[in-house]
Structure 1
Amino acid sequence: MRVVLSTYGSRGDVEPLVGLAVQLRALGAEVRVCAPPDEEFGDLLAGVGVPVVPVGPSARELTAAAPQPSSFPRYAAELIAGQLDAVMGAAEGCDVLVATGMLPAAAGALSVAEKLGIRSLSVTFQQLGLPSPHHPPIAYPGRPFPPGVTDNRVLWALDAESINALFGAALNTNRAAIGLPPMSAATSSATGRRGGSRAGPSCSRQAWLGRPGPDRRPGRSAPTGRRWPRSCCVTPSPRRSRRCPRELREFAQPGPGSTPQPADPGDLNRQPQRAGSTTPRAEPTATTG
């Protein structure tokens, strides 16, 4: 089996795919990774012997530039075009494509899979961008939610409108260039499976993510704690008694002089906004390694 893993973003978007590539290769698959051309990512993949295909501009330079909201459509068009150029060649003859990272880049990679008629899977490493009636979306800069709106379902519908307004034209212009029909940018990279040449209903942003349910695993005399159902997890949640390795905990601690590194001008630059408020609130950020 030949697999191409595509991402664009910070190290947090790239390193999980490095681990996945290593495991897939151990199972006998032929794997290559499409990632930003930053030297650190090339070294990371070279260290485990996985071929890397550079895609788009430097992610570090892009985030350092701190694009203004008015420039998001232009950057989105460039990212999507870069995906079509690089991933198209990398995915030729592959059986499966896995896409993650910035929304415009993931949408471009999934469009490549659609064009080539290969199976694809869109994944996410965090839950903030997954629609749910239990939490609101994160407002894009310059597109605050209307004051007084507190219904999360309405807010997610408004979020879809923002995504289409910011990235829809860029996505569909590039799709038209390779002979694909237009589609909603809000559903173009939502987490789900795709088969053949068309996106299935499972990719809809209306596939709500619920709250964790009571822990009713076999052997428990009574429900204890709460856990996400398996359908919401790529892998089962670890037992609460397990802790991250000491090296990982130390790595996650911010060091002297460290600065937050935003990863996505089209997603992570969004700020959580309280329902009914027109002022975005600050969101804790983590440093990148």
Structure 2
Amino acid sequence: MRVLLSTIGSRGDIQPLVALALQLKTLGQEIHLCVPPDFCDWIESLGMSVTPIGPELQSTGKVSPSAAINPTPEQRQQMMEGTIATQFETIAVAARGCDMIVGATALQIATPSIAEKMGIPYVFAAYCPAVLPSPRHAPPVLTLLGDQPAPAMTDYSGLWAQDAQRWNDHWSSILNKQRTKLGLAPLNDVRSHILTNQPWLAADPTLAPWFDLADQTVFQTGAWIVPDDRPLSRELEMFLDAGEPPVYFGFGSTRVSADLSQVMIQTARAIGLRAIVYRGWADLLLVDNEPDCLSIGEVNQQVLFKRVAAVVHHGGAGTTTAAAQAGVPQVVISQHYDQYYWAQRVHQLGIGTAHPPVPPTTDSLTIALDRTLKPDVVARAQSVATEVRSDGAQVAAQRLIS
């Protein structure tokens, strides 16, 4: 069987699909991926073919003080139309000869229509429960559209109804125009079309359970994790060996301002700990050359996180899961989409602290880290680690070929 795995986004969106791809390859399936060009060399080095889609994304991690972060409505409309046209053209080519398509992230607007036109199965996978409608939780927070985290409610159905309407308002005319070109009927419920009526949830059931257990339409596989056997660099090993476990600060591909480095390092020093700063797509740099701080690039989190005192991060699904699996307490500074959900779960599980959803100051981050490093939180993080599974990609691969 030839399977196309397709997504658009940062490394946190691509890496789980690579985990699934590797499992499918082990089971003798022919795999092709369609992802942004930033990740093509990595995927090809793993022995899999790939079709690039869209522009490189890494430059979006930096925030220029003079740049407008939010596009105008006209600019946003042009970007949306261009994105959908590119998806229909590129994914259709990538899917030729495939027997099935797996799409991840809700930005896969074109993928289910292409599968429908080809007459082949389509599976949508979410990496977080908050992506899938349920009265038990709020929809993802789209800060670019002015969203704010929802207050606590007993029933979020009203917010999900608004979310469905926004999907239609933003995407229906663009999507239906492309569907007409393919000879497909127009849609009146875009969100249901994208998410499908039987979505998969590629998230750990301890960290992110699907609360509606009676809802058999959602299949929870567990998180899709790429096994990582890369050694740490000699420089990093020497730094770790030179003192007490440091605090890891990393924000992945998230847009953050350059002054965040100063806040992070001042915070570590305020509580008497050393700091490791992951440069990430924002290219965060150290504020001085003191020996208590180290700047690093891409790293094996599965190994590093077991050797740090705490992980301070943006709340991506992958980083949250990696920290939980390592048994290290964490501070989540959420900014958009599903990050608020992960911050909430870290707090609810008692394995760390949800920083208020505002830019951190030295004082606020010091308070959050002091709370996170308390013995009971550390012990709870170590306990929860024993419950986090690592076989999600295997479960999904077996289900796909069964």
Q: Which runs of 4+ in 1 moved over 3 A?
A: 61-67, 138-145, 147-151, 228-232, 244-248, 250-253, 257-263, 267-273
1:74–1:170 CA contact under 8 A, matched in 2: no
Residue matched to 1:187: 192
Letter in 2 for 1:30: E
Distance 2:41 2:230 in 1: 24
1:229-260 CA-to-partner distances (Å, cap 9, x unmatched) read 995411399xxxxxx99989x99752437448
1:49 aligns with 2:53: no
1:60 aligns with 2:54: no
Residue matched to 1:88: 92
1:160 aligns with 2:164: yes
Residue matched to 1:73: 77
Letter in 2 for 1:17: L
Residue matched to 1:126: 128
Structure with the higher helix share, 1 or 2 = 2
Q: Structure 1: 5+ residue runs without aligned partners?
A: 193-200, 204-208, 214-227, 238-243, 274-280
Q: Could you say what secondary structure the match of 1:159 adopts? A: helix
Give the direction of change, closer, same or farther, for the CA distance of 1:157–1:230 in structure 2 (3 Å limit).
closer
TM-score, structure 2 normalization: 0.49
Distance 1:18 1:26 in 2: 12
Q: For residues 220-231 of structure 1, what are the structure 2 equivalents within 5 Å?
A: none
2:198–2:219 CA contact under 8 A, matched in 1: no
1:137–1:272 CA contact under 8 A, matched in 2: no
1:101-150 CA-to-partner distances (Å, cap 9, x unmatched) read 3x23x1211111111111110111112211121222235444658x9995
Residue matched to 1:234: 221
2:8–2:14 CA contact under 8 A, matched in 1: yes
2:4–2:34 CA contact under 8 A, matched in 1: yes
Choose between structure 1 and 2 for higher RCO, CA contacts under 8 A separated by at least 6 residues.
Answer: 1
| Greater Rg over alpha carbons, structure | 2
Residue matched to 1:4: 4
Distance 2:167 2:231 in 1: 38
> Once the 2 structures are TM-superposed, how far is the Cα of residue 72 of structure 1 from its aligned partner?
3.5
Give the direction of change, closer, same or farther, for the CA distance of 1:75–1:247 in structure 2 (3 Å limit).
farther
Give percent identity, aligned residues only: 30
TM-score, structure 1 normalization: 0.67
Report the RMSD for the aligned CA atoms in angstroms.
4.2
Distance 2:77 2:33 in 1: 26
Residue matched to 2:65: none
Distance 1:83 1:262 in 2: 28
Give the direction of change, closer, same or farther, for the CA distance of 1:168–1:27 in structure 2 (3 Å limit).
same
